[in-house]
Amino acid sequence: MRGKPPAPADNGKARVFQPAKANGERSLSVGSLARERCLEIHRIMVRARLMEERMIGMSKSGEGYFWIGGPGEEAFNAALGLQVKKGCGPGYDYLHLHYRNSATMVALGMPLVDGIRQMNMKFTDPHSAGRNFPGHYADKAWNVIPVSSVIEVQFAMAAGTAHVQKRHGGDGLTIVVGGEAGAAEGDFASCMIWSTRPGKELPVLIIVMNNGWGISTTHCSQHAVKHVIERGKPFGIPGEVVDGNDPVASWFAIEKAMKYCRKERKPYMLEAMVSRLYGHSSSSGAPRADEPDCIGQFEEKLLANGWIDQETIDKIHAEAEAEVEAGVAESGAEPAPKPEDIERYTYADSRVDKIYPGDYTGLPE
């Protein structure tokens, strides 16, 4: 049976992969996740990684310019995207993401070619019509609020969508994601203040992706606390630190956090300890860092558990690579934005095509 992993010996229920960590962070031993789900997460992680690695190549080859993105955050981000209540409007989850969330978007269903289009600065890029940096996603149909290059502002905006959701009713929640350096600024405090007003608490899942670095600034030089979730304690915000390189531990931590926010309509904080595998961005050369790689680690565990074989892993990587290359070829042949499009999408009703009549045939409305 070429490419087919051996049948699980335990009806798809995960076995214990490794012992719990001494420091109390969640690890794979805390629960079990079905084999099919693990394989789904693995495929998403690989597809997102290969897209990003090709984008780094594009930043060096001249097919694109600036790169910033999410290699090292795929485990947590894939587990997050698969658990989002996806849809449009306050009955569904709102996502205030940061620029390292590509695996979340891939888990939601974003085709890889769309990430590549943004890197390639093509007008067909559905997130910014070729005008924004890569990883700066925006999708109205999935409640993905435009990603900001200005760090931390998403924490202040999150209170707004959560407020609407609280008034609307239902179980939709607001998910806000940022780095630990962004969490050392004022909008993070605003988020905690606004989401914990007595009687007006807000259903916000506050996620801090802690890779230890804010460009070249260390975590310990910015935070007086060991873990950012400790800052939530005076506000009464429950929280958990999770090994964000571990997709299974991340899955259960996210599941628990979401359940709390959906039911209690109050905030919860998650801090995911992750790697930053290619440095800050192309501006720092995007060299490969010597940090734990969530994909390699997960593959070792899947192999050890007999849930996949090496041949299948190689096939998944090859398929993802082919998908990425097809995306690069497709987007490479597509049109760039025109100067006269500059105001398009800037305002809700900028009517740029009336101001600058042109041929927009085949381009997004």
Ligand X SMILES: Cc1ncc(C[n+]2csc(CCOP(=O)(O)OP(=O)(O)O)c2C)c(N)n1
Positions that interact with ligand X (CB under 6 A): 100, 149-152, 178-182, 209, 211, 213-215, 280
DSSP assignment string, 56-118: HHHHHHTS-S-----TT-HHHHHHHHTTS---SSTTS-EEE--TT-HHHHHHHT--HHHHHHH
Tokens of 302: 């899947």
State the minimum distance, in angstroms, from the CB of residue 89 to ligand X. 29
Q: Which is nearer to ligand X, 103 or 151 (CB)?
A: 151
Q: Which is nearer to ligand X, 286 or 302 (CB)?
A: 286
Name residues whose C-beta falls within 8 Å of residue 182's C-beta, 6 or more positions apart in sequence: 98, 151, 152, 155, 188, 214
Place of tokens 């049976």: 1
Name residues whose C-beta falls within 8 Å of residue 13's C-beta, 6 or more positions apart in sequence: 32, 34
Q: Which of 244, 236, 237 is nearest to 268 (CA)?
A: 237
State the minimum distance, in angstroms, from the CB of residue 293 to ligand X. 17
Q: Which is nearer to ligand X, 48 or 320 (CB)?
A: 48
State the minimum distance, in angstroms, from the CB of residue 133 to ligand X. 11
Q: How far apart are CA 125 and CA 266, in angstroms?
A: 35
State the minimum distance, in angstroms, from the CB of residue 153 to ligand X. 7
Angle between helices 310-332 and 294-304 (to 10 degrees): 150
Q: Which is nearer to ligand X, 68 or 202 (CB)?
A: 68
Q: How far apart are CA 173 and CA 205, in angstroms?
A: 7
Q: Which is nearer to ligand X, 122 or 227 (CB)?
A: 227
When CB distances to ligand X are compared, the closest residue is 179
Q: Which is nearer to ligand X, 100 or 265 (CB)?
A: 100
State the minimum distance, in angstroms, from the CB of residue 18 to ligand X. 26
DSSP assignment string, 289-319: PSS--HHHHHHHHHHHTTS--HHHHHHHHHH
State the minimum distance, in angstroms, from the CB of residue 116 to ligand X. 21
State the minimum distance, in angstroms, from the CB of residue 21 to ligand X. 23
